[in-house]
Structure 1
């Protein structure tokens, strides 16, 4: 991870001091560095990390960072990783352009890994953007279809990049094709768990603990899994919660009210149970691999991701 951090610092640097500062704003804020960690761990299932694995890890982290710049503009977020968001610091236009620049930098890094890596990066980027578009324009469907539709969105907007993180690690760590496929599938399931846990944290956490502004999804009127489960309620006592979560919430007092009602609702428990089931599927994918320290670490990673929402 130290090698990844050094390489990341190198590639986000720029001759223009302002561009260099804006490029590195979120990278220097820290964060979990979950995706590059997964790339490194996946490589250990094979022959271990090398310079190509490090560059692959940097490529996925740059892609993730770029998406955060765009997400914060869309969400009008004020905090990211415990610091001022890029859009709040530099304005929307600059934040979007820096996000674009980071996407370009990610592509330049991945280009050094060969044609297959470039194709995978492009396919991942398409899925990521398509998933984000669908998430921003959630369709009105029946309650039976809503959860399945939402999970499909998560597989694209979050699962695709985390799947690529694991895939790159396996590829450039010397794994055979079957192991690469297994770790790619594992990564996609893990990505869905990651986003489900994030969605629960958006409701359950306080800003100081999470480094993000809580209730962002509720404020934007996005129906995440807890809201989808709450909408299945026929209890008259839930009428106010259903009214508040019908669309965007502009009034800060109403947002606080919605958060309080949802935090105490059984829908949160249902969403946590669903997250645990997806986590079990991710662990099940690893059962196909020979057991050892790397697979044990990946198993532990699933638990760590899922338990964030507990």
Structure 2
């Protein structure tokens, strides 16, 4: 088994830890959550190992590239409403993080993304077929892990995976004629991102033996916090700070992937906005035909400074507030306080 990761490295991965555990009561949770994350990281290192050299190298690639481990952190946090980081909570957290990792392999192929977590994407190294099959392998292993926890865990994994796939499918196909593109996109985000965050928060309750009445509020919390999280990622995608994104600015837009700033830009009818959208559309079409992606550099910068991006930030803040409102049935205490800070932090990762 891989040796536990030092606690300081775990805290560094979180990035948000100082904000989430800022209160006096919440900080008392930090040691428990970090200790649990050490166990999850060690479990991931073990479960990702394979006797097949290609499967081993490709399967461990994005895990070893880093990541914030947001989903395990949430499961370990909500587990404090029950018996804490039980073996079952650690296993469920491992499976859900592995599912998230598998989705990244697929996302990068579908989006033609060249980089992930500051390193070349898996498909850039091994090709699309190996990257897709590696994602499939991680999904299957996550299901095997969940099967050790019983029928309820299998249902949780299956339901979450179904939402994840439907979100990706709907994003790929696009909205039906007459549908509101913004509302459609928000539903895609809830399924693609919110589903795993919600499942993680729910798993912490289930597998720690916490009161069952906390599950529903935490699912609603996770869905809404997940949307806020992804809306901020749409803004961060435009950032010119490679240390923050690990990607070229506007990677998603250059690949023709719709993001909220673009959708809100499309609602604007002023001449400047209409012209900017037309230039982006033209650039995306030219890139698809083989032109250099740098042709969109100036337009990506213009969108970064456009009011549509500011409106995306405001929308993220609203979803964050809605997530916090969903926590009202939980008892007042350090867990609820930390979850509140989490929702606030994912909607404002710039400070």
Sort the TM-score into its range (normalised by shorter chain). Answer: over 0.9
1:33 paired to 2:76: no
Deviations along 1:206-253, one digit per CA (max 9) or x if unpaired, are 333211333122112233211111111121122321103337351423
Residue pair 2:77, 2:335 contacting (<8 A) in 1 also: yes
TM-score where L is the length of structure 2: 0.84
How far 1:287 sits from its partner (Å)? Answer: 2.2
CA distance in 2, matches of 1:263, 1:100: 35
SS of 2:174's partner is: coil
How far 1:309 sits from its partner (Å)? Answer: 5.7
Q: Gaps spanning 5+ residues in structure 2: where?
A: 1-36
Which stretches of structure 1, 4 residues or more, deviate above 6 A after TM superposition?
none
CA distance in 2, matches of 1:264, 1:5: 38
SS of 2:210's partner is: coil
2:335 is aligned, of 288, 294, 309, to: 294
1:267 is aligned, of 295, 308, 316, to: 308
Match of 1:221 in 2: 256
Match of 1:138 in 2: 174
Deviations along 1:244-290, one digit per CA (max 9) or x if unpaired, are 33373514233212211101111111111111000000011112211
Q: Gaps spanning 5+ residues in structure 1: where?
A: none
Deviations along 1:105-155, one digit per CA (max 9) or x if unpaired, are 10011111110110111111111011101112222656x822111111111
CA distance in 1, matches of 2:204, 2:342: 15
CA distance in 1, matches of 2:266, 2:259: 11
CA root-mean-square deviation: 1.6
1:255 is aligned, of 296, 317, 340, to: 296
- Count of residues in correspondence between the two structures: 309
Worse overlay, 12-21 or 27-36: 12-21
TM-score where L is the length of structure 1: 0.95
Match of 1:160 in 2: 195
CA distance in 1, matches of 2:249, 2:272: 24
Match of 1:238 in 2: 273
1:74 paired to 2:110: yes
CA distance in 2, matches of 1:141, 1:196: 24
